[in-house]
Every structure is written in structure tokens, then in C-alpha cells.
Amino acid sequence: MNSEASLLPPALATSPISAPSATNPLTEPISNTDFYIGVGLAISSCFFIGSSFIIKKKALLRLSRHGEVRAAAGGFGYLREWIWWAGLLTMGLGEAANFAAYAFAPASLVTPLGALSVIISAVMASRFLNEKLNLLGKLGCFLCILGSTIVVIHSPKEKEIEDLQVLFEMLQDPVFILYVICIFGSCAFIACFVAPQYGHTNVCVYLFVCSGIGSLTVMSCKALGLAIRSTIANGSNVFSTWMPWFLIVVTVTFIAIQMNYLNKALDIFNTSIVTPVYYVMFTTLVITASAILLKEFSKMRFENILGDVCGFLVVIIAVFMLNAFKDIDITLTDVRGLMRPKMQRISQYDEEVLVSLKERRYSYGSSDVFRKA
């Protein structure tokens, strides 16, 4: 035991480790205070992140009107736009709140609440970007909230890790290392070979890179947040070691990669499509990484696992509705028309056809017989 402690940083070697026979901190229920703090921070971050999509999209549209090289073509002219920096600052505030939320609540509880950013972004896009949000899109937004609520209700409620040394030991898990290798390999393959050919036609190409790297960003943010929380609460200066500084460098690098590919996706596709697709892919990979690293689903009952799966299926259906039917002009009036009796709909259709024919005959000079009719 002493030999193992000597290999750890001094600030971590002196921290107490829960013995295997003691109560496992991952099986203890999370406190109500931490739960509400985490949920509150996650919800507030959605307002900032959802609006940041719109602000940055406005900057990219303004840049394209000036004839600059677009972000999708490898241009970085948006760095000279103050509007884009305002959007980045707004997203930074949202990510900071989200970062703090991961220190108080499980990732599988915080991440699904990002569906609120889908709603905010879709509504603001229809208001400020003149992007169409028809009735099916509004129903899709509602289903995003419904599916995320189901996931939150059935999410793990175990207490978060409070010992930084325990988390560092979990980072050495072979299964998690394999996940990291798979994410790095797939993202590198897509960025080098798939994106140049299909990035302009498939929204999932750039967003998969954002989501894959983003899942690792959340894990590093969780470790960094635990280090900050441990320093404030316990007074142990873990920042005297190299590991927290390494986590800061990794987090900043991963966020820069996410921003680059997210800008490319926003430059090509509508915000109402980018936001929900990014939400589904990002949430799925974050929960997968969290389940592998933190074992958050190991103590769940079958009905809660089934509830999580059903919640994700609802969100996927919502994203399909937002994406597949975005160009269909359907309103609530059209739905009310379908609810009328069949004979009434047929008579109304015949009257509309007759009026249309009369207007066409008058326009091109009709016969007197038809005019008398």
C-alpha cells in the first residue's frame, strides 16, 4: 500500500481512500442540495448555449455576404467578427455553468437536460434567422423535452465521486482506455477521409467529431471540477501537482476542436437541424463514456434502464421530425381540416377547384356560357 501511495502526487497520496469493505460512495444517494444545484446550473447553461448558436450563425451569415472564405471551406474570417466573439462568450458562459453542473450531479442526469438548448435554438432561429419551424418541428421540440424528462426521471441517483484519487484510478480502466482509442481513431478517420467528401452533404459528419471529442471533454471537465471542488471544500491544494494542469490543457484543446467542427456544420446546415442532431449524438456518447468510466448504470434496476432507453427513443423520433419534415408547410389549420367530416372536406375541395377554374377562365377569356354559370 505504501509503494502505491508513493507513486501518486503528494496532495493525492495524503487523501483518504475508501476501503473496499467500507461503504461505496457510488452507491450512496445524491443529496437534494447537490441535485438541485446541478439541475439549476444545467438549465441555465441551456439558455446561454442555445442562444450562442444563433449569435454565431448570424456572424457566419454576415461573413458570407461580405465574400469571405467560409468556415466550411477552411476559412477563419469569423475570428474578425465581433458578433462571433459575442456568441463564443455566450457559449463560454453556458459551458461554464454546464462545467459546474457536472461537479454536483451525474453526467447522465446533466447531459439530457441539454434538450432545452434545442428548444431555445429552434425558437430563436425562426425569429431571428427566418428559418421555418412548422407544426411538426414544434411537436419535435416538445418531444425533445418529453424524452429528456423521461431520461432524467430514470437516470442514476447515486452520489458523485468525491475522492480525486479514486477517479484517477478509474481513468486507468482498460475499457475506458479502449473507448478513448476508438473515439480518437474514428474522429481522425472521419476528419481526414470522410469529411472532405461528405461533410457538405451529411450533417452527421462534422457533428460526430464534435460529439466524440465532446464526450471526452465532459470526462476531463468532471475530473477538473472535482479537483476545484476538493480544493475549495477540503483545503487540499491539488493544483500543486501536474494532473490538474494537464486536465486544463486537454479540456481547452478539446473545446477548440469542437468549436472548429461545429462552426463548419453551422456554416452549411440550418441551426434547427444542427442543434437537435448534435444534442442526440453528444448526449449518447457522453452517457456511454460516463457509464464506462463512472459505472453509473451498474446499480440501476431494469425498469430504470428501460426508461432511459425509451427516453432516448423519444428524443430520436423528435430529431427525425425536425429533420425530415422541415420543408413541409403544415399548420394547425391543416390538421383541423383533416378532422372535419369526409363529405364536408370533399365539398369544400370541389368548391375550391371550381373557384380556381372560374378565375382561370376569366383570366384568359372564357365563353359566355361559363360566365353565366
Give the tens place of pLDDT for each residue, 262-289: 888 888 887 667 877 887 788 889 888 8
Domain closes at, from 298, 321, 339: 298
- 3 found inside a domain: no
Residues 215 and 324 in one domain: no
For 133-167, what is each residue's pLDDT tens digit?
788 888 888 888 888 788 778 777 665 666 677 77
Max CA separation in the chain (angstroms): 108
DSSP-derived letter for residue 373 is -
- 363 found inside a domain: no
Residues 254 and 315 in one domain: no
| 163 within 8 A of 14, measured Cβ to Cβ | no
Residues 148 and 242 in one domain: no
Residues 110 and 203 in one domain: no
pTM of the predicted model as reported, rounded to 2 decimal places: 0.67
Alpha helices by DSSP H, listed for 7-155, are: 10-13, 32-65, 82-102, 107-110, 115-128, 135-153
- 215 found inside a domain: yes
- 194 found inside a domain: yes
Q: Which three cell numbers stand for residue 334?
A: 391543416
Report the percentage of the chain scoring pLDDT > 70.
72
For 29-55, what is each residue's pLDDT tens digit?
566 677 778 878 888 888 898 888 888
Residues 275 and 196 in one domain: yes
Domains held by the chain: number: 2
Neighbours of 22 (CB within 10 A): 8
Mark 330-369 as b/e (b = at least 16 C-beta within 10 Å).
eeeeeeeeeeeeeeeeeeeeeeeeeeeeeeeeeeeeeeee
Q: Which amino acid is at 198?
A: Y
Q: Which three cell numbers stand for residue 83?
A: 458578433
| pLDDT, mean over the chain | 75
Residues 234 and 287 in one domain: yes
- 339 found inside a domain: no
Instruction: Return the pLDDT at 68.
Output: 66
- 38 found inside a domain: yes
pLDDT at position 253 over 50: yes
CA distances, 305 to each of 156, 310, 311, 323 (Å): 9, 9, 10, 27
- 253 found inside a domain: yes
pLDDT at position 259 over 80: yes
Residues 323 and 293 in one domain: no
Instruction: Return the pLDDT at 148.
Output: 76
Q: Which amino acid is at 179?
A: Y
Residues 92 and 123 in one domain: yes
Residues 215 and 114 in one domain: no
pLDDT at position 188 over 90: yes
Residues 39 and 103 in one domain: yes
What range defines the domain where residue 71 resides? 33-159+301-329
Helix (H) or strand (E) holding 228: helix 203-234
How does residue 369 score in pLDDT terms, banded at 50, 70 and 90?
very low
pLDDT at position 186 over 80: yes
Helix (H) or strand (E) holding 57: helix 32-65
Domain closes at, from 280, 298, 316: 298
- 84 found inside a domain: yes
Residues 131 and 172 in one domain: no
Residues 37 and 58 in one domain: yes
| Surface-to-core class of residue 9, CB atoms within 10 Å of its CB (0-12 exposed, 13-18 middle, 19+ buried) | middle
| 184 within 8 A of 253, measured Cβ to Cβ | no
